[in-house]
C-alpha cells in the first residue's frame, strides 16, 4: 500500500445554508483593519486540497485556474471540483470575496489556483502532492497553502517543497491534529514538520491553545482553528475545527503582507524577508513555543501591545521596528 497524505479537519461542527458576516477568525487576526490598504489584490495562492466548489458565489470570482491530480473523475485534470468540502472551506478562509453576502476571507481580492491533490475521501498519494507543488511553481504562484499531512517523510516531497521555497514561494502547512494537550510530546505530520515550511498550529477564539493541535519544535505560529466559519460545497457554509482551518488564516495574512511590503519597500521581498515580516506580526500567548511557535498572527501588533502593556513599552516595540514595514495601516 502506498503511503498517503490526508486532509486534516478535526471535525465538522455545523453546516449552514445562508450567512452574512465576517467570520470571527478573520476579525481576530485583524484582517479587516488592513483592507483599507490592501485586500491582497494580484497575489496568487495555490490551494493544495480536495478541490473547490468552483461555482460557489463567494469563490467563483477568485479562481483563476486549477488542475486535478487525483483519481476523482477518472483522473481528468480539467475537473477540480470538490466533493468533500475541506478544500472549499480552506479556500474561503483565504480569499472569499467581499460581496456583502456570505462570508469574506482574509485576503478577499487574492487569486486562487485550485490544485486538487486529495480525492473525495480526503486522501492523496505523495505523487499527487509532489505534482501539485510543481504545477504551482509553474504557475508562478506567490503562496502555497497545504492543510494536509501524513506520517511519512518523503524525500521527493521534501525536494519539491525546497524547490518552491527557492523560487521565493511561501509554503504554509497545518501542524496536524494529533495533539494530546501536552507540549512534552511530539506529534509530527509531514510536510508540516519540514523546517522550510511555515507550520501553523491552532487556538480558539479565547486565544487558548487547542487540545488537538500537534506540538513540536517546528511550529512557527498559531491562528484561529476552532469553529471556523467558511464556504462549503453546494454553495453552502460550514463551521469546521482543526489546524487545517488555522493554516489558511496565515496564507491569507501573507497575501496582505506581501502587497503592503511591495508598497512600502518599493520592491518584491524574498521568501525569508516575507517570513520575517509575518513573524513581526505575532503576539506570544504564554504557551510553550512547541505549541504556539512565535504566537498568534495579529496584523496590527503595535495597537494590540498598547492595550496589553503600558504605552512606554509599546513605543519601545514600535521604535525597534524602525525601517520595517509599518505594522498598522
Active site members:
49, 86, 244
- The closest of 232, 230, 203, 204 to 215, measured between CA atoms, is 203
- If you ran DSSP here, which 8-state letter would residue 75 be given? G
Between CA 116 and CA 72 the distance in angstroms is 9
Give the number of C-alpha atoms closer than 13 A to the C-alpha of residue 17, restricted to the C-beta side.
0
> Going by DSSP bridges, is the β-strand pair 4-7/11-16 parallel, antiparallel, or unpaired?
unpaired
> Going by DSSP bridges, is the β-strand pair 170-174/143-146 parallel, antiparallel, or unpaired?
parallel
Torsion of CA 22, 229, 327, 201, to 10 degrees: 170
Helix (H, G, I), strand (E, B) or coil at 82: coil
Give the number of C-alpha atoms closer than 13 A to the C-alpha of residue 298, restricted to the C-beta side.
17
- If you ran DSSP here, which 8-state letter would residue 130 be given? H
Helix (H, G, I), strand (E, B) or coil at 273: helix
- The closest of 259, 210, 292 to 10, measured between CA atoms, is 210
How many residues in total does the chain contain? Answer: 329
Amino acid at each position: 500500500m502506498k503511503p498517503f497524505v490526508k486532509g486534516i479537519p478535526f471535525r465538522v461542527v455545523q453546516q449552514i445554508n445562508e450567512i452574512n458576516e465576517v467570520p470571527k477568525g478573520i476579525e481576530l487576526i485583524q484582517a479587516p483593519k488592513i483592507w483599507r490598504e490592501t485586500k491582497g489584490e494580484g497575489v496568487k495562492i495555490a490551494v493544495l486540497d480536495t478541490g473547490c466548489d468552483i461555482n460557489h458565489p463567494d469563490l467563483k470570482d477568485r479562481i483563476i485556474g486549477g488542475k486535478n491530480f487525483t483519481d476523482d473523475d477518472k483522473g481528468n485534470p480539467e475537473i477540480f471540483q470538490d466533493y468533500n468540502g475541506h478544500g472549499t472551506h480552506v479556500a474561503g478562509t483565504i480569499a472569499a470575496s467581499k460581496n456583502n453576502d456570505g462570508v469574506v476571507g482574509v485576503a478577499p481580492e487574492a487569486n486562487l489556483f485550485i490544485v486538487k491533490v486529495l480525492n473525495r475521501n480526503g486522501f492523496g498519494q505523495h505523487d499527487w502532492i509532489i505534482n501539485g507543488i510543481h504545477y504551482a511553481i509553474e504557475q508562478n504562484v506567490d503562496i502555497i497553502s497545504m492543510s494536509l499531512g501524513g506520517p511519512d517523510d518523503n524525500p521527493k516531497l521534501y525536494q519539491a517543497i525546497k524547490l518552491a521555497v527557492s523560487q521565493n514561494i511561501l509554503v504554509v502547512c497545518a501542524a496536524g491534529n494529533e495533539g494530546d494537550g501536552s507540549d512534552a510530546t511530539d506529534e509530527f505530520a509531514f510536510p508540516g514538520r519540514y523546517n522550510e515550511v511555515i507550520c501553523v498550529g491552532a487556538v480558539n477564539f479565547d486565544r487558548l491553545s487547542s487540545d488537538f493541535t500537534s506540538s513540536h519544535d517546528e511550529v512557527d505560529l498559531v491562528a484561529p482553528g476552532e469553529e471556523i466559519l467558511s464556504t462549503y460545497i453546494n454553495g453552502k457554509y460550514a463551521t469546521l475545527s482543526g489546524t487545517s482551518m488555522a493554516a489558511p488564516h496565515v496564507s491569507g495574512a501573507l497575501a496582505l503582507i506581501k502587497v503592503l511590503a511591495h508598497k512600502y519597500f518599493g520592491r518584491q521581498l524574498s521568501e525569508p524577508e516575507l517570513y520575517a515580516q509575518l513573524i513581526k506580526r505575532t503576539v506570544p500567548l504564554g504557551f510553550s513555543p512547541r505549541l504556539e511557535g512565535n504566537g498568534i498572527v495579529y496584523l496590527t501588533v503595535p495597537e494590540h501591545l498598547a492595550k496589553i502593556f503600558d504605552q512606554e513599552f509599546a513605543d519601545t516595540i514600535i521604535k525597534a521596528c524602525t525601517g520595517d514595514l509599518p505594522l498598522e495601516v
